[in-house]
Amino acid sequence: MRVGTGSAITREVRAMAASLDPVGRTARGRFRALWPTGLLVLALGLGACGPAAAPAGPAAQQVAQAPTGPKTLVLTQQREIDGIARSGRTAPEVTHSVTAGLSRKNPETLEVEAWAAEALPSVENGTWVINPDGIMATTWRVKPNIFWHDGTPFSTKDLVFGWEVNADPQVPVNNRRPGDLMSSLETPDDRTLIIRWKTSYQQAAGILGSELFAMPRHILEPLYRGGDYNAFINSPYWGSEMVHIGAYKVVRFEIGSHVELAANDQYFLGRPKVDRIIFRIISDPNTSLANVLSNEVDVGLDGALTVEGGIVADRDWVSKGEGVVKFTPLNWTWVNPSWTSPIFGWQAPNQARVRQAMLHSINRQEIVDSIFQGKEQVAYFPMSPGRRQFAAADAVATKYAYDTRRAEQLFGEAGWRKGADGVLVNDRGDRFSVEFRSGGEDDLLAAVADHLKTAGIETRQLVLSDTQDNSAENRNRWPGLYLGRFNVVVESWFDRFHLSRTPSEADQWRGFGVTGWPNPAKDKVLEDINSVIDPREIDRLMVELVRHFTADLPHLPLKYNAEVTSYRSNVRGVPVRYESGGNTVRTWNIHEWDKV
């Protein structure tokens, strides 16, 4: 049966999108009840099954019109926030629109560049001094004419004050690094900062905004010195009264609804092209999709569109010339064989062959094509395709392509052969039967389990709620297999893969190193990545880590998880990103965005 773009279903979808209230967050009447998940599935076929839509309908013509008067961009995100920076529940895309730091990361190249600083410190220009004992000093020089949003001149002493607050154990923060590696900060003048380091630190020349957060002394220091930590931590400064040095100023902050920002005329990189930014909080992805389809929002960020929603928008919005939808690999999903399992744990006999055979048994390309419509891609190791070192790493990686014959051969070499019921058994009569646990993604769990079943592995699927998955009983350990996801940030590799980060009863099973990967050579590589200064050597070490990973298979890599970025056709300058994390954001260049 063919479903055309003019069908009753499409008209109903359009009608629901048109029923959005003036704020654009919810729909009038019964919109929420009329937009079930099943309707999204039906909508996936509209663009492909029917004839191509005319490229220039009334909506497209409206989008093409240049704005008159002050320019406003409406951005939507799923994450609900109650703070702008440092305190409470925050959103990095909002934080980076309002604040600024010494340096920032390009989310597409993943390279660090100077921001408020004139240049990054370097050994060549003498601003990065490394002593033989590893103790270092980095000298930063900030740009001239930087002002706080209230017009007060910025000083590097504001960075020193921020460092002092961040080091105070009575001020709760998520991460005190790299501040805890600094022995002292000096300010010879208001534009110079000298950081003296306790030890060698490879990222010392690329300190990002959240890592050394400037705080306005003229606003916060009296409150902090007063000693009332509750008043300091809960100050409205961190939300509705935020004053910083970024591209935009906070005008209005309605918790649960939206954040309104105005262009900073004195922004040190130049006045933003757009006068007003509105971050609209839409927690329901179906409502967010309806806002995109009806052009009620200009840019979709931070979970605004799921992959499924992005596919709908791609077929029913992009095809009409109304906007752009991009899918980019952001993090990865893997299957972890428990490191304590008697079948495939590190001490199990022939565990290497078993792990390889399991991965050969999973048709990863078929999974991403069938479940995710080809908008995601197979992963072979934990590095973003956006990393400069990716091509070299890919060249040395062992891939383990889908190959049932090779899987059967490896299982046989490991002592496992199919019994009468199709389940693998060993010479002792043990069945290859394991629990397969996940914290979600039921469809993906079932698909992987089906491939393993074909190979002879019997699994008992167990889907846990977030509460169950993070409970003391289950946290970061499982008896069999676990379907999970992490970021692919290289700077997180040490915590993910170094043996010292293996969770245990001593740390209440909170360590991130769930692989329990016992490879001393790999541990040395990880230690060197964090301490070596020569960038060429760091590149070599990253490639070497990938070689170890694909040889040992601490995780069975499945796929990269796509992030969806959407923007209307008259919006310019919106980037994508290739890694997750609070310092890798699409609003890194928001002052350059435009609406034409």
CATH 3.40.190.10 in the chain: give the residue spans.
1-99+246-322+569-596
Compute φ and ψ for 212, nearest 5 degrees. Answer: -140, 85
Q: Is residue 175 very low, low, confident or very high in pLDDT (cuts 50, 70, 90)? A: confident
Euclidean distance between the first and the last CA atom of the chain, given in angstroms as a whole number: 41
Q: Is residue 62 very low, low, confident or very high in pLDDT (cuts 50, 70, 90)? A: very low
Q: Is the peptide bond between 329 and the residue preceding it cis, with omega within 30 degrees of 0?
A: no
Average pLDDT of the segment spanning 114-137: 93
pLDDT of amino acid 249:
98
28-37, 184-193, 236-245, 277-286: which has the minimum mean pLDDT? 28-37
Cα separation of 15 and 63, whole Å?
Answer: 19
pLDDT of amino acid 44:
32
Compute φ and ψ for 253, nearest 5 degrees. Answer: -135, 105
Assessment of whether the complete model's pTM goes beyond 0.95: no
Cα separation of 551 and 565, whole Å?
Answer: 34
pLDDT of amino acid 558:
98
Is domain 1-99+246-322+569-596 in CATH 3.40.50.300, yes or no? no
pLDDT of amino acid 171:
86
pLDDT of amino acid 177:
83
Cα separation of 304 and 94, whole Å?
Answer: 14
pLDDT tens figures, 341-380? 999 999 999 999 999 999 999 999 999 999 999 999 999 9
Return the DSSP state at 587.
G
For residue 215, give every residue at least 6 positions away whose Cβ sits within 8 Å of its Cβ, in sequence order, or none. 158, 161, 162, 165, 221
CATH 3.10.105.10 in the chain: give the residue spans.
329-562
pLDDT of amino acid 21:
44
The tokens describing 516, both together, are 């329990």
CB 445 within 8 A of CB 463: yes
pLDDT of amino acid 205:
93
Judged against a pLDDT cut of 90, whether residue 510 lies above it is answered with no
Average pLDDT of the segment spanning 277-306: 95
Is domain 329-562 in CATH 3.10.105.10, yes or no? yes
Cα separation of 294 and 312, whole Å?
Answer: 13
Nearest to 20 by CA among 36, 32, 8: 32
pLDDT of amino acid 440:
84
Average pLDDT of the segment spanning 62-72: 68
Nearest to 156 by CA among 210, 77, 215, 109: 215
Judged against a pLDDT cut of 50, whether residue 157 lies above it is answered with yes
Judged against a pLDDT cut of 90, whether residue 59 lies above it is answered with no
Q: Is residue 65 very low, low, confident or very high in pLDDT (cuts 50, 70, 90)? A: low
Q: Characterize the bridge pairing of strands 72-77 and 103-105.
A: unpaired
Judged against a pLDDT cut of 60, whether residue 277 lies above it is answered with yes
Judged against a pLDDT cut of 80, whether residue 165 lies above it is answered with yes
Element (H, E) at 482: strand 481-487
Judged against a pLDDT cut of 80, whether residue 429 lies above it is answered with yes
The sign one gets for the Cα dihedral 165, 171, 174, 177 is positive
Q: What Å distances lie between residue 195 and 129, 171, 177, 183, 200, CA to CA?
A: 10, 22, 14, 8, 12
CATH 3.90.76.10 in the chain: give the residue spans.
103-227
pLDDT of amino acid 22:
37
pLDDT tens figures, 451-474? 999 999 999 999 999 899 989 889
Q: Is residue 64 very low, low, confident or very high in pLDDT (cuts 50, 70, 90)? A: very low
pLDDT of amino acid 488:
94
pLDDT tens figures, 522-575? 999 999 998 888 889 999 999 999 999 999 999 999 999 999 999 999 999 999
- As a 3-state breakdown, the chain gives helix, strand, coil percent values, each rounded to 5, of 35, 20, 45
Average pLDDT of the segment spanning 228-249: 94
pLDDT of amino acid 374:
92
pLDDT of amino acid 67:
61
pLDDT of amino acid 10:
39
Q: Is residue 54 very low, low, confident or very high in pLDDT (cuts 50, 70, 90)? A: very low
CATH of domain 103-227: 3.90.76.10
Q: How much is the CA Rg of the chain, to the nearest whole Å?
A: 26
